Chain A
Amino acid sequence: MEAVFNARLVTQTLAKRRNLVFLGLGLLTLALMVTNLVVGSLPYPIERIFYTLLHPQESGDLATIVWKIRVPRTLAAALGGAYLAASGLLLQVYFRNPIVGPYILGISSGATLLVSIIMLTPFGFRLTHATPFVTTIAGCLGAYAVMALVVAIAAKVQRGATLLILGLMMGYLCSSVTSVLTALAEKEKIKGFVLWGMGSFSGFKQVEIGILIVFGGGLLIAVYLLSKPLNAFLLGEDYAASLGVNIRRFRIFILMAASALAGLVTSMAGPVAFIGLAVPHMARLSFGTSDNRILIPGVCLTGAAVTSLCDLIARMWLNPVELPISAITAFFGAPIVIGLLLKRGARFS
């Protein structure tokens, strides 16, 4: 009997198709990032913006706008989107649960709690004068404190589901304290805090972009290098263990990497809803696989593209009023995910 299929041929066909998706997504991301640089509340001609970009040593209003505002923001949106998406993917793989996102373990609630102390209490208000980074530092502390707690517990807990509930409870605890602070706070302070809680990629400083690139990039590389054991986790912990993965160590790694990525973005931009939850689905469907060796770069590109687009809309839709990023990500993102899932359902049922 003749062989009915040839594994090599099938793999090559699949790889070809996936490379095309990579190419398309890469071009799309690039185009969106360029659009973010070019489009803004002040209309400058495109050639002048490109000229400024190619001559960073020049000064003037336009140089300030391009280098101090648009470049950081464009990079922040793209990188932030990529990291949140990667974080969401890691947790979805680990928990084997499609509705898990980067904030499921309480990272954002921890950040929000500490930021609320800074923004809503008299004590924090005094700190704000000390350093302009105080909100970022507070967010960072809050996010990583929760992460440390979750990871410490994860070393003792056997089941993923228990951990999930613990994370949720941690989130509720932090939120309740935040609610108390909100109730006690002065009215005019609340709007600023509420807006922080919906995220924004504006006002990133160059130092922050540097940190975002170095730490986030390092984490992403580490995550990619571990995509093989991550694939073993697709089948659950028991199967992963039977394949020779040290699941205890690896579980800690997944949780730490996912929390660190999400915490990094959240401390600087505030909680950005939806990206980490939805982008992994979009990437899985567009690449047609759950193979993490493809999905990790895949979600990063998709996350960068989607977040860039959302930030563009947030800035320009009701220009000059700027909308919070979470409003846009959810408003446009949710229908897209529903549509993709329904389309897939229709194709196969």
Chain B
Amino acid sequence: MNPFGPTALTLENLTIGYRSPVVTDINLTVPPGVFVSLLGANGSGKTTLLRTISRRLKPLAGRITLFDQPLKTFKALDLAKTLSVVLTDKAEVPMLRVLEFVALGRHPHSDFLGRLTDKDLLAVEESLFAVKADKLANRFVDELSDGERQKVVLARALAQNPRITLLDEPTAHLDLKHRLEFLAILRNLCRQIGLTVIAAAHDVESAARFSDLVMTLKDGRLQDFGRPEEVLKPEAIRTLYDCPEANFDSALGGLEMTPDGRAGRAFVLGGQDSAALAYRLLAKQGYALATGFFLATDLDAHVARSLGAKVFSFKNADNPPLADLLAESLVELGQCDFLVIAGDMGGFSEGLTKLKAEAKKLNIPILSLGPNGELTPLIEGLALYRSSRAA
């Protein structure tokens, strides 16, 4: 036994690859019953790592231990009873009913001819119930939708009665509803039957929401391994995907793209959550953003920051330094192409008047949202502004 408690998977000084190394010197320990997401850009070695852990590929160096037993000492059938896989392969088999398909997972447990005992059938039933696909039992696998089939493919993996399941981008073909449902099923399996799940993921947001741990692969190394709340910082995501525009907000769990500002620069007066949609609209059209005045904890502040905006906010609600912020904003306004009024500045009417007056003086157009926060006036205003500038 491991002196530090039970472990599902231990990788020590592991180097993986085909002939030349893809990822070198991985060291980590996964406790049992957790959902681990494996993140990394295409070609970073996610699939190679999964293939190595499932023993389809020999490690180039280092050791792998599964449940305190060295991976290479497992007998083939014992490994199949311990570890199961869900591959990216669509697993399309013509003329096979879901029940028979899932029963293929009983391979390591059934007798020489593969006859199914009552115990096997029970395991098949339970697997189908666990993924909420029991109603599909009598259907043919090749007639299922992508979402249904993926659940059935998972049920087949569960029918092996594994202690750990490796999945390679299991939600890649699924729509939002099925993706969330699938990930929720995986998480429940971790909680309820103590299954350890390691899933290569392409989607940072769902990985952040559903997994207990994430490992990130970058430039042939294990970049990070830990809780998503700690690992998935904006900077880490930017490096991981070589994507400087990406802005990951760990509090919101959402990924936003910073606008390049090619279209121009907008000053948005926000507050009271009214401006979030206006920010996204402007950012998508390529406008860099500056915004104020609100509490740093306001939703608007989060969204604006994740869009790379310059934010004029304050931390102390009782005694906001309004005068200072106003002075800074007036300078900022001078750099902007137009002013958007998407909030009342928390009732700071003096500031509002001054900013408007400054805009008039600098000949900067003023756009605004509808009385109930509707975006249409802003969209129309933007179109007008653009055509006037083009002319």
Give the complex CA separation of A234 and B89 in angstroms: 12
Q: Tell me whether B125 and A6 are in contact (CB under 8 A).
A: yes
Residue of B nearest to A242 (CB): B85
Interface flag for A64 (CB, 8 Å): no
Indicate whether A290 sits within 8 Å of B104 (C-beta atoms), given known contacts A10-B137, A242-B84.
Answer: no
Interface flag for B11 (CB, 8 Å): no
Give the complex CA separation of A232 and B99 in angstroms: 15
Q: Tell me whether A290 and B56 are in contact (CB under 8 A).
A: no
Q: Which of B76-112 contact A (CB under 8 A)?
A: 76-77, 79-80, 83-85, 87, 89, 91, 93-97, 99-100, 104-105, 107-108, 110, 112
Instruction: Give the shortest distance, in Å, between A156 (CB) and chain B (any CB).
Output: 16
Instruction: Give the shortest distance, in Å, between B159 (CB) and chain A (any CB).
Output: 10
Binds A, one of B114-122, B190-198, B272-280, B293-301: B114-122
C-beta contact mask, A282-306 vs B, less than 8 Å → 1, else 0? Answer: 0011001111010000000000000
Give the complex CA separation of A248 and B177 in angstroms: 40
Indicate whether A5 sits within 8 Å of B91 (C-beta atoms), given known contacts A14-B97, A242-B54, A243-B160.
Answer: no
Q: Tell me whether B134 and A4 are in contact (CB under 8 A).
A: yes
Q: Which of A228, A235, A284 contacts B94 (CB 8 A)?
A: A284
| Chain B residues near A228 (CB-CB < 8 A) | 107, 110, 112-114
Q: Which of A98, A231, A239, A245 contacts B85 (CB 8 A)?
A: A239
| Chain B residues near A4 (CB-CB < 8 A) | 134-135
Q: Tell me whether A244 and B93 are in contact (CB under 8 A).
A: no
Interface flag for B9 (CB, 8 Å): no
Instruction: Give the shortest distance, in Å, between A117 (CB) and chain B (any CB).
Output: 40
Q: Which of B104, B135, B160 contacts A234 (CB 8 A)?
A: B104
| Chain A residues near B76 (CB-CB < 8 A) | 244-246
User: Residue among A227, A242, A244 with the most chain B CB within 10 A?
Assistant: A242
Q: Tell me whether A5 and B104 are in contact (CB under 8 A).
A: no
Interface flag for B124 (CB, 8 Å): yes
Residue of A nearest to B120 (CB): A7
Interface flag for B29 (CB, 8 Å): no
Residue of A nearest to B104 (CB): A231
Interface flag for A58 (CB, 8 Å): no
Interface flag for A165 (CB, 8 Å): no
Give the complex CA separation of A234 and B92 in angstroms: 9
Residue of A nearest to B51 (CB): A238
Q: Tell me whether B114 and A239 are in contact (CB under 8 A).
A: no
Q: Tell me whether A285 and B95 are in contact (CB under 8 A).
A: yes
Q: Tell me whether A8 and B108 are in contact (CB under 8 A).
A: no
C-beta contact mask, A51-75 vs B, less than 8 Å → 1, else 0? Answer: 0000000000000000000000000
Query: 24 A-B contacts, Cβ less than 8 Å apart?
Result: A3-B134, A4-B134, A5-B134, A6-B125, A7-B121, A7-B128, A8-B118, A225-B112, A227-B113, A228-B112, A231-B114, A232-B107, A236-B87, A241-B56, A242-B80, A243-B105, A243-B107, A243-B160, A244-B77, A244-B79, A244-B107, A288-B95, A348-B140, A348-B143
Residues of A that sit less than 8 Å from B by CB: 3-8, 10-11, 14, 98, 225, 227-228, 231-232, 234-236, 238-239, 241-246, 284-285, 288-291, 293, 348
